[in-house]
Structure formats: structure tokens, C-alpha cells
Amino acid sequence: MLINIGFDITLGVTAPTALLYMLRVHPSREADLIAPESLQVWPNLQRDEYIDSFGNNCGRLIVPLGVSSVTLTNRATINDSGALDAVDYNAFQLDAKDLPISTLQFLLPSRYCEVDSELMQFAWARFGNTPLGAARVQAICDFVHQHIRFDYQCARPTRTALDGYRERVGVCRDFTHLAVTLCRCMNIPARYVTGYLGDIGVPVMPSPMDFSAWFEVFLGDRWFTFDARHNARRIGRVVMAKGRDAGDVPITMGFGQQQLTQFHVITDEVLPQTQ
């Protein structure tokens, strides 16, 4: 299947600054693009693109004096298998001493995932008797899905996993942070993922399209996708960035005051008659 992806984002700025962005498709999905992405910036600013330490496509814009707003747009079409998220309930959970070195950082506390908190004791009390592996991760997703109430009006960029656990409300990043933290508490490497997830294969939601957050866990010899917010296997995820938590994968980040004045995301299946 083919999926149209893209966005229109405008940021108001008040002073010269640098603006970082992670708005390109992740390198692992670049080969699926029908043509290269058409990321455009207005005005035409100095742009530096690079790969960060997590392997994400990133960019930096230099915003000079006199520029009061920056608009970024992108349009692309990507080929997708149309398959549901892969899952293997026989995938085994490795002991920490047997994990690949590259996964160990995803067991540690991070900015939004306080493994070294009351969540550690709670996790072992709640999930300590669940089967190891994917079944344990699913038990964590089931809990988080029921524990947190989704509400766009309650979004807060400073909310951590512990805050989400206590406040019991949030958006997709809050579901993801809590699930990631509980997995790490149970010695399961877990990393935060952001990307496109359209209403493909599910009823169309009335709310405007947005980027989405989910997570991956390392079981057996590979990473598997889980989603505590939707708590269901989905079709058509397009990964943009991966990291320890949302702090590693900001959609945009400015070093100074800025205001989001336009935000529009596109994630639509290309219907057969239009291909």
C-alpha cells in the first residue's frame, strides 16, 4: 500500500536563533519512499543536516535577525507492507548480562522516564508474576491504556512518566513514557519512537491528524513495536525518530522564544483509484 505523508508547520520567533528539527523519515524507512522527501523551508535559511547519536535524520536552521517566522513543509509518498505491527509471543526476554551492549542505555533512567522512582517498586509488585517477554510487555500496555485518560487539553511538555502515573491523564507521549519506564523497571530495554500513524484500518478519528508516539522493546534478537495509547496492532506506522524519551526526539526545538502558529499533519492511504 502507499501512504501520503507530510506536514505544514509555522513557528513565530522573536530573536536570532538556531532551530533544530527531526522531521524527516527515519533512515530505516528511506528505501520505502517513492521519491525523496521534499522538505521546504521559508524563508530560505541556512540549513545543516546530520545524523544524531541515535541514528535519526536531523537538521539545524540558522534564523537571522529580522526573520519573525519560519515555515517548514514536507510532502512524500511511502510504500508500506500494509501488515499489522509484528509480534512474537515466543520471543524471550534476555537477562541484562546477555543483552547487546547497544540496548543497555534503554534500561536506564532518562529525562522523562524515572526508572529510579516509586515506579520500580510498583512495577515489580504489579508485573513481577506475569510471564517473561512479550506477554509481560502486553500486560504493561494493558495497564497503562486503562490507567491514563487521553485528553489533548491536558497536554503538558514537562509531564514525566511518574507525573503521568500520578495524574492519570495525558496524550500519546505520556502513555509511551509510562510504558517505557515500566518496561525498563522490569529489565526490558525500551525506547521511545515518534512518527506518522494515520487512521488506516481503523475508524477515522474526528480530531485533527498529529504525529504519534509509541515504543519498541528488545526481545530475543530484535526490537518489537508496542503502543500503550491505542493498545492494538496497527497498520502504516512510519518512523521518524527513536530515542530514550521525547527529550531525544523533539519535532522542533528552538534556542529562544518561539510560538507554534500553524501545525498540520498529513497521513493518508492512497486509494487504489488514485494510485
pTM of the model: 0.95
Q: Using an 8 Å Cβ cutoff, are 236 and 198 in contact?
A: yes
Encode pLDDT of 174-220 as tens digits.
999 999 999 999 999 999 999 999 999 898 887 788 999 999 999 99
Q: Using an 8 Å Cβ cutoff, are 223 and 103 in contact?
A: no
E strands, 14-155, are 17-21, 40-42, 46-51, 57-63, 69-79, 149-150
Q: Which domains does the chain have, with CATH numbers?
A: 2-82+251-274 (2.60.40.2250), 96-235 (3.10.620.30)
Q: What is each CA distance from 223 to 133, 137, 165, 201, in whole angstroms?
A: 12, 12, 25, 23
Encode pLDDT of 241-268 as tens digits.
999 999 999 999 988 888 999 999 999 9
pLDDT at 124: 98
